[in-house]
Structure 1
């Protein structure tokens, strides 16, 4: 290779073509023995076999059970390399950005790498192996399950939920199955693989710390860039490259037209032999990055270049996009206990969040467009935070970049969940290495606001019987209280760290329960598992970082995954797509206090979807009514990784469940809700905007057919980002006939008709739905075809609750703009159905498609 001055930037050449996959050994079916299939990289053995038509879709019927043999199979990927031989002064590194999981890499039969960690990347100097320019590259994946079992035998068992010892290998925990996910245990090169060629030196690590402080004319920002340099150690025409003096140039370019938009830069020289440097760039009068709902998301381009001192060669360049903002979490004790309040740029933010799991069990099927669709669905439901749960992965760069762009805050768990983890080798070194790599990889993203040590592990130790089983063995506490906070403090001191979720700050778990609702973060699972959703009001947690209620997937998703003859609650195929322990029993027991439990499966499907939405909305309105004492809620969960009955708002085929519409309503900027306070009913007005919300409210007690029984006017004056509690007068707060009356509180503008906007309104019942004297079908409909779909008009003659057009029952691609529509007598609403299908309009308002509470309780059309 001829060396051209000024063109020495490292070149990354992907090695994604020409791979073949073979099952080497294990309980492989006879039809696959000795068979080689084309392999996609990035990819996995499952997706390659699926593409070749050699295995059935694991997401359909009971096919997951047919693939258990893959858990103990060894796989080999192989390809032939044909590259230009390295020049004398050129390094050639094999870069493997993600191997899942127990992998051995060999070139021409010579082992060059062995790894047991899905969550790390690896780089190996292979110039000597590529001297001829041709070579055979092989990657062999052993069974991660068998590796985990061997580590468990060596170190001693540690308690874990679910059967497999996922806590003994650094692999996505939910790869081994969860109470919402399949047990498939993938293997493969799941992130890019390639060769990187470079000379003299490269940027081994770039770590930008972004801070802000008051400046002369606004807010000044500082980017302090810490850089580690690797020198090639090879001879060059000018001498030993380790002795070449280098220069580091750092530039920050702001958004055009924004404050601080002019370029700022700084330079520092590295003496011969030096391998690290720090450069600070001050940007006066920066435009601050804000979470969605609080301001704009301006981002700045950061460029870091490594060059020879004379500037003759630019050796390496790293480009990032950063945002100027500050973040801290207030955990100073107060009169209620210990808060957990996120502050961005000095302002407290009520967190409206959801937990995030991997969006497909087959990780390589999730691309930037799919991330964008999911994050946009979160934003459209008025969320401002996603919590990446510790049983999944550190997501791809695109996820965090899209969150930066959209102002979606990110809470990042380190990858530990629901288990006790050994703190000895061979795991400890892997844990530290992956933590260091991913902290540095993700720290430039302004959306990332919390590092969290683990999910439920300290709580598990206290409450789940672990100490008896452990008998003094390590269980992970040292990771959460020593190793991980030390890594964060060293590498990313601008962000807060929490030991666990749930966790009570400042006090050892031996002195205060880690899931105490009055202190720090809290997980509320008693309601779903043992009580009823009415009990969400029993506590006023400081920050509820997990709670949820189950519901089945949408009808189109469910019927794609479960055959027609298995569409009943107890069929083996349906139960394979219901992973929760006694999940159907809990769904029925959760229905019982509120709604009839239908015998018909299709009615039951609607009722349980509805009850999921009801339960979560009930909790969210309670939690939001207690701001700022309750400073945030993170619902379990936003998304699914396959078609399943689960706690998700968006199902595995990306369709919105009724829960999603409940989230959009309960997380709206302005909410009215009727709540008990001090033994009486009050209306609580929640104003999560920067404007005062003032005017008059009308509280009315009315019959179901619209006859006013009592009315009262209430003055509304809610400051920005605050809550107002207004006691209701007794004549509207106390029902004369609870089974035939409702309470409605709304702005005095009154009824809404055919509007695209949901009304800001609270509807309160004194009895449960099953005891209200509903009219069965108190509505008329009109359907018209419009561009891109259909317009469904619903007109109510009497109280109509939670009317929902389940349009996916009519067309797979059908989407609606609203669900759970509640109308008073005399009101109407428009539901827009988007579809490319040509439909019989009446199908959209048939009793099996247009559902409501009325039909479930009174048995009329539209049950």
Structure 2
């Protein structure tokens, strides 16, 4: 036995020596065997509780004193970290909820109070110490706007930190207390130029003199955020490594050729590199390595003392890769890649885990449409996008909220989200959700035409040329850009970079960013100089641009040509009555009237008029009636928007991006779900119009057509068209077998002559369906057509339909609802389903419906699936009501 052990050990040394020699020459080692590693994995945790704070005017001691463990902070206020000053004050009941009613007007604004009012000291006690060769690192992922840091009586940062969009990373090993009991003290200052909240876009514009969120001075969809997002707003993390800190890994995937989501795949190439920081006084020898698909890829490296070295591994050819696709086109497969650095003696010194989506994104100019076309894995993708501001205007982010919001975008059948330039570089948790659900991301940098000088604006303090050079510190912008690129570049969902919203950065920012920084740090994604640049979209109707905004005649989306890759096209989005009750006081629940004066609270929350589009359904009797009729308009607007763009796919358009799909506060415009994550009819109208396989009717000429967004021809499809009158009688019209080519629109037949025969009918419903060979419904679409005078008097006179509703739990967090309408009834029209807490009557949020605001035909049953987060002891019920269906509460089996 002794002889066997000696031989085995000797053979192991020979293998390790050969492997070392091979890797020293940059060879890829491919084997199932992984060298055993010693030492613990990286320890990382957040400092996200136990923080205390106090206003600077109440503190007379220095940071060195405050950061000593023996300094008493007995009477300090509990602080929310990560979070803003405003969040902490709300959580301590020092100010009212600024999102409710007119409460925001009761909160002092930093522009009027001076910066000291929102300058706060934060302290946090934590236990940590370094043992042996351990290194301890402190990271702030975001502070707004300036800060000074102290630990155990010593200052950490030599110069005051500045800039919201920037991570700060420190080796604190030498500052830790010997007994492991440490205190961190941080003073945070608001932006130097908070800007006057004078009602302009970004207030007087001077908020843009600093590198911070421009929207916080106010916009046409939000009121000013009084502290301008001041605070330790993002995660604070402690991590422990050995002698090496592996950071900013970079993974590139190359997928040549034109691929399909199904079947075997040709190989893809994986390129991996990382930064390796050696904070010690001695050189470190070892290997950077990772394992993928059962194979180990590694490279020898020598890390010189007190320096950071970038190491690139040999390219790896991944056989038959599982590819990542945008929503609606295929699966979002992800590989888990653990990148590690080990010493020559196989001691694990540090590691990072990265989820890798294997895909390639390209942009090719479409000469016919005069706009850029997006290609993923060699396939052209028709962009159906939404503009995103930020999850919460008080920066109360969470993984669960991000996941819910991005899932809603998936449920809308969208495939892209654009991050608007007046907010932030979105967080890795946002990108994780986009990776999961298949939403491509169009990431703006931090500029806007409003604040940065595109237009002459009497609301702005400075002239256009002065604003054109905002922010003041251009070097800071470039430093932040490098950092934020490194933070998010590995996410497969990140598809495009953009210099700014409707304007480029100044040239001494734009040119280094475009020509040097992005090629060096990324090199795989298209960079648009600004969001509606000629390079993205251009036509003879007026060059580049965006819009229109606001409510429109649904026919206009079909007939009026706009910009061929429209970065912002928008409409309305008021929630239902329950949504309005969450933030509008009862005394202000007054229905807006066409051409009438709007209530002060509605106006404050940026209500955008529904103009004459509500009145055809009957002048609203009250706010509840208004909200119900608004949902009809919402649904019709967004269905028509996406259908109109899709009908001209590859002819007029390569894509469109809706302004906007969500609000970071309780606004009354541009949203598919409200701030509380409750859905409205916009979401389901858009979901219908953006379906990957969809049958639709052009309201201009009644042409029925089918859209196929898939990469393969759809064959053996039966398209049916029927008409129902207000009593529920069915007038069957047509059926036809057809095939529809890949990524195309096919016109089938017009219904105008048939509809003319029904002129005697006041109004009708038009039912369109696509069926497969087994008669399963693949697509269904129901239009409600007005009378000749444009009014819906027939809808107003419809008889009630007694809808039979059953609900059954089929698994944890999943319910199936059955809606049945008896023969002889009229159409059970436009039914809203809500999942509620049976004891409180409040809605359970978020809840995800595979359809909502649904209509059930006479003699038919429709099934709806609901998914939600189930909690122990949660008693659930269902609430259902419709246009002509009385409200009912249903027990769940």
Q: TM-score range by the shorter chain?
A: 0.7 to 0.9
- Aligned counterparts of 1:723 and 1:780: Cα–Cα separation in 2: 36
- Structure-2-length-normalised TM-score: 0.77
Task: Report what 1:538 is aligned to.
Answer: 560
Q: Which residue, out of 615, 637, 655, partners 1:615?
A: 637
Q: Which residue, out of 325, 349, 353, partners 1:319?
A: 353
1:659 Cα offset (Å)? 0.8
Alignment of 1:198-237 (within 5 A): 198=241, 200-213=243-256, 218-234=265-281
1:517 Cα offset (Å)? 8.0
- Aligned counterparts of 1:709 and 1:640: Cα–Cα separation in 2: 42
Q: Which residue, out of 645, 662, 686, partners 2:685?
A: 662
Distance 1:482 1:124, change over 3 A: closer
Q: Is the CA contact (8 Å cut-off) linking 1:702 and 1:741 kept in structure 2?
A: no
- What do the CA deviations read for 1:217-241 (whole angstroms, capped 9, x no partner)? 942222222333322143xxxxxx1
**Are 1:682 and 2:703 an aligned pair?**
yes
**Are 1:116 and 2:150 an aligned pair?**
no
Q: The residue matched to 1:651 in structure 2 has which SS?
A: coil
Q: Is the CA contact (8 Å cut-off) linking 1:355 and 1:386 kept in structure 2?
A: yes
**Are 1:384 and 2:415 an aligned pair?**
yes
- Aligned counterparts of 1:614 and 1:357: Cα–Cα separation in 2: 24
How many pairs does the alignment contain? 781
**Are 1:401 and 2:437 an aligned pair?**
no
Q: Which residue, out of 416, 437, 458, partners 2:447?
A: 416
1:182 Cα offset (Å)? 4.3
Q: Which residue, out of 329, 335, 342, partners 1:294?
A: 329
- Aligned counterparts of 2:482 and 2:669: Cα–Cα separation in 1: 33
Q: Which residue, out of 387, 390, 394, partners 1:358?
A: 390
- What do the CA deviations read for 1:522-560 (whole angstroms, capped 9, x no partner)? 5222454xx655433311542233222223233223212
**Are 1:79 and 2:120 an aligned pair?**
no
Q: Is the CA contact (8 Å cut-off) linking 2:90 and 2:96 kept in structure 1?
A: yes
**Are 1:740 and 2:759 an aligned pair?**
no
- Structure-1-length-normalised TM-score: 0.80
- Aligned counterparts of 1:326 and 1:300: Cα–Cα separation in 2: 15
1:94 Cα offset (Å)? 3.1
Distance 1:40 1:820, change over 3 A: closer
Task: Report what 1:463 is aligned to.
Answer: none
Q: The residue matched to 2:203 in structure 1 has which SS?
A: coil
- Higher mean alpha-carbon deviation, 477-486 vs 554-563, is at 477-486
Q: The residue matched to 2:56 in structure 1 has which SS?
A: strand
Distance 1:149 1:524, change over 3 A: closer
Residue segments in structure 1 that go unaligned for 5+ positions in a row: 27-32, 235-240, 254-260, 459-474, 507-513, 852-863
Q: The residue matched to 2:215 in structure 1 has which SS?
A: helix
Q: The residue matched to 1:624 in structure 2 has which SS?
A: helix
Q: Which residue, out of 202, 217, 220, partners 1:179?
A: 220
1:180 Cα offset (Å)? 3.0
- What do the CA deviations read for 1:191-234 (whole angstroms, capped 9, x no partner)? 2224445554322432222213369x942222222333322143
- Aligned counterparts of 1:319 and 1:250: Cα–Cα separation in 2: 12
- Aligned counterparts of 2:886 and 2:600: Cα–Cα separation in 1: 24
**Are 1:552 and 2:581 an aligned pair?**
no
Give me the CA root mean square deviation: 4.2
- Aligned counterparts of 1:699 and 1:424: Cα–Cα separation in 2: 57
Distance 1:312 1:737, change over 3 A: closer
- Aligned counterparts of 1:34 and 1:577: Cα–Cα separation in 2: 43
**Are 1:562 and 2:609 an aligned pair?**
no
Q: The residue matched to 1:219 in structure 2 has which SS?
A: coil
- Aligned counterparts of 2:108 and 2:572: Cα–Cα separation in 1: 27
- Higher mean alpha-carbon deviation, 768-777 vs 219-228, is at 768-777
Task: Report what 1:652 is aligned to.
Answer: 675
- Higher mean alpha-carbon deviation, 614-623 vs 594-603, is at 594-603
1:130 Cα offset (Å)? 3.8
1:176 Cα offset (Å)? 3.2
Alignment of 1:78-477 (within 5 A): 78-80=123-125, 83-84=128-129, 92-107=136-151, 111-113=155-157, 114-130=160-176, 136-144=183-191, 146-148=192-194, 161-163=202-204, 165-184=206-225, 185-198=228-241, 200-213=243-256, 218-234=265-281, 241=282, 243-244=283-284, 246-253=285-292, 261-270=293-302, 272=304, 275-285=309-319, 286-308=321-343, 310-332=344-366, 334-336=367-369, 338-364=370-396, 366-417=397-448, 418-420=450-452, 423=469, 426-457=472-503, 476=506
Q: Is the CA contact (8 Å cut-off) linking 1:23 and 1:35 kept in structure 2?
A: no
- Higher mean alpha-carbon deviation, 414-423 vs 603-612, is at 414-423
- Aligned counterparts of 2:173 and 2:332: Cα–Cα separation in 1: 44
Task: Report what 2:853 is aligned to.
Answer: 820
Distance 1:607 1:315, change over 3 A: same
Residue segments in structure 2 that go unaligned for 5+ positions in a row: 1-36, 59-72, 259-263, 453-466, 810-814, 869-873, 889-893
Q: Is the CA contact (8 Å cut-off) linking 2:666 and 2:675 kept in structure 1?
A: yes
Distance 1:784 1:730, change over 3 A: closer
Q: Is the CA contact (8 Å cut-off) linking 2:242 and 2:350 kept in structure 1?
A: no
1:346 Cα offset (Å)? 0.3
1:270 Cα offset (Å)? 3.2
- What do the CA deviations read for 1:641-663 (whole angstroms, capped 9, x no partner)? 23331211111111110111112
Q: The residue matched to 2:703 in structure 1 has which SS?
A: strand
1:102 Cα offset (Å)? 2.3
**Are 1:780 and 2:801 an aligned pair?**
yes
